[in-house]
Amino acid sequence: MYLFIHRKDLRVADLRAFDYLRSKDAEGIHLLIIDPALTAQGRLTSHSGRNFVGQAASLLHSYAKAGKELHVLYGDPVHVTEALLQSHPIDEVVVHADYTPYARSRDERLQQTVHRLGRRWISIADAPLADLEAFPAYTGRSEPYKVFTPFYRMWSSFIMQSYNPMGITTIHDLNTVREISGRVAVPFALPEQIASALGGTAAVEGSVKSALLLDRFVREHLAAYAASRDAFAEGHTSGLSRFLNTGAISARQAYEATEGLPGAETWLRQLAWRDFYLYQAMYHEDYFRYEHLSDLSALTDKHFGAWASGATGIPIIDAAMTQLNRTGELPNRLRMVTAMFLTKNLLCPFTLGEQHFRLNLSDYDNTLNRGGWLWCSSLGYDAAPYFRIMNPATQSQTHDPVGSYIRRWLPHLAHLSDKEIHQPLSGAIVDLKASRARAIDVYRSIAKQPIVQA
């Protein structure tokens, strides 16, 4: 008997682990653990928490529809796993690899427990589009890439030569254990609130919805993606990130649906950025502790509250933060504009903005969010140069000339003309020109300072 634990792979087809499990030809316990460490402090009611619950409910629905069993338990993954290993004749524990700091330390503890109890621990790469565990050998480099463009060149040729297509195993091919011991089910039962949330509107989320979104994107928007992706008022991007991050859809499915079609190259480049950040999380120790390697003492949280609540007096910033706070959505261009504005014009440490996005984005992903914030704040290995500072008013004018995005989210400004609507209001908290000049000075000196080894 095996134990398979779902994490960022909330789907029932095209999982690398499923291909492996099928080859074992044994029955197994399929498990999803709701980990209090990840759901405490209101996280489950945040936009990303609600997204996760929706995808998890959909996963349960998919298992039930296939006549299979998914057990959902609540507790520290190490304790839950240990209890299961002590109560069932499980010979190996199978998971997909995860590379965030929390996931690494959790899996280290899990692995130790599994080995202490004399069972096998199998961790299989699944999240990236390319096999990033095999990639370093293909590149022949002793050091991992630090810069996107050469990474992308090599990654593209790796995909061309060694792409490993979607798996063919589905949950229908596996034999799931119906009942687990009361010695585990009872102490690790779900709290009532989570159990009822998981019983919600399951069928409409997850793999079904993401496949529909992908299909519509391919038919209606892929061909013009390069030209329209930054037109943030229109919403012509795929909207797949919140499904890719929970694993409700695989990057492989997204890739295979678009392969070779007009417009696919630019879109594939975005999936390559996703892989680039996952790669950094895998191979660059500093990726998650970059704030400790630069002297950020010149930065302050003075204007953070105004930024976070959409009260800066810069219309596009306030409109964007309003959309984010209300819906959990924010187009990529506006993530860049708001992040640069916070870190550069307002001279605020990127970690505060990163944290605000963590609590508010529906598609929050620790690795991709960090990559975006490092890039915008000119920190990390392949970041925007310190003197690159987007002017929010110009960005708004360029990508939404008639101001329909601002009118949508800030209706009290809807009466302004197409020209006026982008301009800072009279009470704006900073002057764009002066704050830009100051930011260049401050970030020049941050960039010049030798990295302080923590």
Could you tell me if 3 and 90 are in contact, meaning their C-beta atoms sit under 8 angstroms apart?
A: yes
Q: Which residues contact 78 (CB under 8 A, 6 or more apart)?
A: 106, 109, 110, 113
> Can you tell me the distance from the alpha carbon of 348 to that of 307, in angstroms, rounded to the nearest whole number?
10
When asked if residue 230 is in the footprint of ligand FAD (CB under 6 A), the reply is no
> Can you tell me the distance from the alpha carbon of 18 to that of 225, in angstroms, rounded to the nearest whole number?
33
When asked if residue 361 is in the footprint of ligand FAD (CB under 6 A), the reply is yes
Q: Which two tokens stand for residue 154?
A: 């090599």
- Does the annotation flag 271 for ligand binding? yes
The nearest distance, CB 318 to ligand FAD, in angstroms, is 17
> Can you tell me the distance from the alpha carbon of 272 to that of 284, in angstroms, rounded to the nearest whole number?
17
The nearest distance, CB 45 to ligand FAD, in angstroms, is 18
The nearest distance, CB 233 to ligand FAD, in angstroms, is 14
Q: Which two tokens stand for residue 302?
A: 């003075």
Could you tell me if 302 and 312 are in contact, meaning their C-beta atoms sit under 8 angstroms apart?
A: no
Could you tell me if 249 and 255 are in contact, meaning their C-beta atoms sit under 8 angstroms apart?
A: no
Eight-class DSSP state of 118: T
- Does the annotation flag 277 for ligand binding? yes
The nearest distance, CB 241 to ligand FAD, in angstroms, is 3
- Does the annotation flag 267 for ligand binding? yes
The one among 336, 413, 442, 447 contacting ligand FAD by CB under 6 A: 336
When asked if residue 356 is in the footprint of ligand FAD (CB under 6 A), the reply is no
Eight-class DSSP state of 4: E
The site that binds ligand FAD (CB under 6 A) totals a number of residues, namely 29
Backbone angles phi, psi at 78, to 5 degrees: -70, -45
When asked if residue 233 is in the footprint of ligand FAD (CB under 6 A), the reply is no
CB closer to ligand FAD, 55 vs 245: 245
Using CB positions, name the residue nearest to ligand FAD.
Answer: 372
Binding region for ligand FAD (CB under 6 A) out of 54-62, 110-118, 236-244, 316-324: 236-244
The one among 373, 405, 409, 443 contacting ligand FAD by CB under 6 A: 373
The nearest distance, CB 147 to ligand FAD, in angstroms, is 15
CB closer to ligand FAD, 91 vs 329: 329
Which residue's entry shows tokens 């489950």?
44
CB closer to ligand FAD, 63 vs 99: 99
Closest CA to 13 of 201, 207, 178, 245: 207
> Can you tell me the distance from the alpha carbon of 110 to that of 115, in angstroms, rounded to the nearest whole number?
9
The nearest distance, CB 378 to ligand FAD, in angstroms, is 13
Binding region for ligand FAD (CB under 6 A) out of 167-175, 280-288, 366-374, 399-407: 366-374
Burial class (CB in 10 A: 0-12, 13-18, 19+), 290: buried
The one among 20, 138, 152, 273 contacting ligand FAD by CB under 6 A: 273
> Can you tell me the distance from the alpha carbon of 34 to that of 50, in angstroms, rounded to the nearest whole number?
13
- Does the annotation flag 274 for ligand binding? yes
When asked if residue 325 is in the footprint of ligand FAD (CB under 6 A), the reply is no
The nearest distance, CB 371 to ligand FAD, in angstroms, is 6
When asked if residue 270 is in the footprint of ligand FAD (CB under 6 A), the reply is yes
- List the alpha helices (DSSP H) in 231-285: 241-246, 251-258, 264-283
When asked if residue 129 is in the footprint of ligand FAD (CB under 6 A), the reply is no
Q: Which three-class secondary structure state does DSSP give residue 126?
A: coil
The nearest distance, CB 51 to ligand FAD, in angstroms, is 11
Measure the CA angle with vertex 70, ends 62 and 76; round to 5°: 130
Eight-class DSSP state of 425: P
> Can you tell me the distance from the alpha carbon of 1 to that of 29, in angstroms, rounded to the nearest whole number?
8
Binding site for ligand FAD (CB under 6 A): 229, 237-241, 244-245, 270-271, 273-274, 277, 331-332, 335-336, 339, 357, 361, 363-365, 368-369, 371-373, 376
Annotated binding site for FAD: 225, 237-241, 267, 270-277, 363-365
Annotated binding site: 225, 237-241, 267, 270-277, 363-365
